């Protein structure tokens, strides 16, 4: 999911592991642990010149169970050694003092000072903190449509339940609010633990709602396909961005994709706004290894369009398209071009009509969320 959500979940894991011992700093270190897997975005761009390879590196090994275990032991050992030594030399207090007085404010430094009388931490404590914060990151990603290769290096199977959007404020904001309130209580105050449980509980209940919603949406989509007489090979449903109310469905046939929308507020229990999208898979040879990697990434829900300059527009069709004013364009598209003996890719920006604004685009989705 989005970075803020992973930070919030990681912070909660830090609190669960070490909050009673080191107070609010457990939130900080948990948040750091929660962001570590997504560093593969920068590492991939640093390692690979080919952007297809770099994209596929994301949510790869650094989002696996094996990585979570190895990284937990490494960071646990490093932090235990450095943190306890830092306490003895007062370097931790110096850092918080500097940032508190000169960057954040003296108020935050004084706030930190209330919690500086900590219990001694163990290497096991730090290892547990980093395992929880790192492992819950790919675990949460499994519920999105993007998915993650949780079982690397033993299997490249991408776990993707597709029951929640990659960014959903209904999951994140109540969770964040509970943690913010919790921070104002002393580390040994039982109310602090209550707010942590409340944040975890609310977010977990909402996640269960999205899972149940996914089963319901699938049943509606199957019913709609049957009503329209569409003989499909397979289908996929995804929640649209920032909500779990408006859903997008795509069904694959031998030659086309059939897509439609459904809102929980629709008066009719069937998908509407139907559109047929040709596959155009034959534009590039299916035996091309780079194309095979891209199609694996998209779970084979894609189409291709050849440009006049010999490049191609590759569109991932698992997500809804947007109306640019000059026609529709897939949200997740990029330009594919020949780079020596391989294919490479770069970002693609559709041509928007000069009168179309971002608020016009979001407004269309908002109106559709309200139902038909």
Domain carrying residue 92:
3-209
Q: Is the pTM of this model over 0.95?
A: no
Residues 351 and 286 in one domain: yes
State residue 196's pLDDT score. Answer: 97
Looking at the structure, tell me whether residues 34 and 117 fall in a common domain.
yes
Same structural domain, 188 and 237? no
Give the three-state DSSP class for 286.
coil
Q: What is the pLDDT of residue 89?
A: 54
Sign of the torsion angle spanned by Cα atoms 103, 107, 108, 114: positive
- Whether residue 268 sits in one domain with residue 326: yes
Q: What is the rounded distance in angstroms from the CA atom of residue 210 to the CA atom of residue 73?
A: 33
Query: Is residue 221 one of the residues assigned to a domain?
Result: no
| Whether the Cβ atoms of residue 84 and residue 121 lie closer than 8 Å to each other | yes
131 occurs within a structural domain: yes
198 domain residue, yes or no? yes
Domain's final residue, options 209, 243, 276 = 209
For residue 225, tell me if it sits in a domain: no
The kind and range of the H/E element at 56 are helix 51-57
Whose tokens are 């919603």? That residue is 213
Whether residue 196 is found in the same domain as residue 283: no
Residue that is last in its domain, among 149, 176, 209: 209
Residue 222 lies in a domain: no
Residues 166 and 279 in one domain: no
Residue with tokens 């209904």: 170
**Residue 88: which residues within 8 A CB-CB, separation 6 or more?**
none
- Candidates 187, 180, 177; CA nearest to 112 is 187
Smallest CA-to-CA distance from 167 within 241, 239, 240 is with: 241
Do 267 and 205 share a domain, yes or no?
A: no
Among 175, 209, 243, give the residue marking a domain's end.
209
| 219 burial type by CB count under 10 A (0-12 exposed, 13-18 middle, 19+ buried) | exposed
10 Å Cβ neighbour count for 157?
Answer: 11
| Close Cβ partners of 80 (under 8 Å, ≥ 6 residues apart) | 121, 122, 123, 125, 126, 127
User: Does 237 lie in the same domain as 205?
Assistant: no
Residues 43 and 192 reside in one and the same domain: yes
Same domain, 234 and 305: yes
Task: Note whether residue 223 is domain-resident.
Answer: no
Strand (E) positions, 24-89? none
The answer on 132 and 239 residing in a single domain is no
Looking at residue 287, its pLDDT comes to 83
- pLDDT tens, N- to C-terminus, the chain (372 residues): 999 999 999 999 999 999 999 999 999 999 999 999 999 999 999 999 999 999 999 999 999 999 999 999 999 999 988 876 666 555 455 455 544 544 444 444 454 444 455 677 899 999 999 999 999 999 999 999 999 999 999 999 999 999 999 999 999 999 999 999 999 999 999 999 999 999 999 999 999 999 999 999 999 999 999 999 999 999 999 999 999 999 999 999 999 999 999 999 999 999 999 999 999 998 888 789 999 999 999 999 999 999 999 999 999 999 888 877 777 888 889 999 999 999 999 998 888 777 878 787 778 888 999 999
Q: Are 278 and 365 contained in the same domain?
A: yes
Backbone angles phi, psi at 30, to 5 degrees: -65, -40
The whole-number pLDDT of residue 88 equals 56
Helix (H) or strand (E) holding 62, with range, is none
Single out the residue of 298, 316, 13, 1 nearest to residue 164, CA to CA: 1
> Considering the domain boundaries, does residue 95 fall inside one?
yes
Domain count, the chain: 2
Task: Identify whether 218 is part of a domain.
Answer: no
């Amino acid at each position: 999911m989005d970075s803020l959500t992973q930070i919030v979940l990681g912070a909660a894991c830090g609190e669960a592991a070490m909050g009673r011992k080191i107070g609010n700093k457990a939130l900080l270190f948990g948040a750091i642990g929660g962001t570590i897997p997504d560093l593969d975005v920068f590492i991939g761009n640093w390692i690979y010149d080919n952007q297809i390879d770099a994209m596929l590196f994301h949510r790869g090994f650094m989002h696996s169970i094996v990585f979570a275990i190895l990284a937990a032991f490494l960071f646990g050992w490093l932090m235990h050694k450095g943190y306890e030594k830092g306490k003895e030399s007062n370097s931790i207090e110096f850092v918080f003092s500097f940032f508190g007085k000169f960057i954040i404010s003296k108020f935050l430094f004084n706030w930190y000072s209330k919690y500086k009388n900590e219990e001694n931490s163990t290497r096991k404590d730090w290892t547990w903190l980093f395992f929880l914060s790192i492992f819950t990151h790919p675990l949460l990603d499994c519920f999105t449509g993007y998915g993650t290769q949780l079982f690397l290096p033993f299997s490249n199977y991408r776990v993707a339940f597709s029951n929640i959007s990659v960014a959903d404020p209904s999951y994140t904001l109540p969770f964040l609010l509970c943690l913010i309130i919790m921070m104002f209580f002393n580390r040994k105050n039982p109310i602090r633990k209550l707010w942590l449980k409340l944040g975890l509980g609310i977010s977990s209940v909402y996640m269960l709602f999205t899972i149940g919603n996914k089963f319901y949406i699938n049943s509606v989509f199957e019913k709609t396909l049957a009503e329209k007489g569409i003989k499909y090979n397979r289908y996929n449903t995804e929640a649209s961005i920032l909500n779990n109310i408006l859903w997008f469905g795509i069904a694959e046939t031998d030659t086309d994709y059939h897509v439609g929308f459904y809102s929980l507020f629709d008066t009719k229990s069937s998908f509407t706004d139907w559109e047929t999208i040709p596959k155009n898979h034959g534009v590039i040879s299916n035996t091309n290894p780079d194309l095979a990697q891209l199609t694996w990434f998209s779970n084979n829900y894609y189409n291709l369009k050849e440009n006049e300059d010999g490049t191609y527009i590759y569109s991932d069709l698992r997500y809804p398209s947007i109306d640019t004013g000059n026609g529709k364009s897939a949200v997740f598209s990029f330009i594919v071009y020949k780079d020596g003996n391989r294919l490479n890719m770069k970002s693609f920006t559709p041509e928007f009509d000069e009168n179309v604004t971002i608020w016009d685009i979001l407004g269309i989705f908002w109106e559709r969320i309200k139902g038909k």
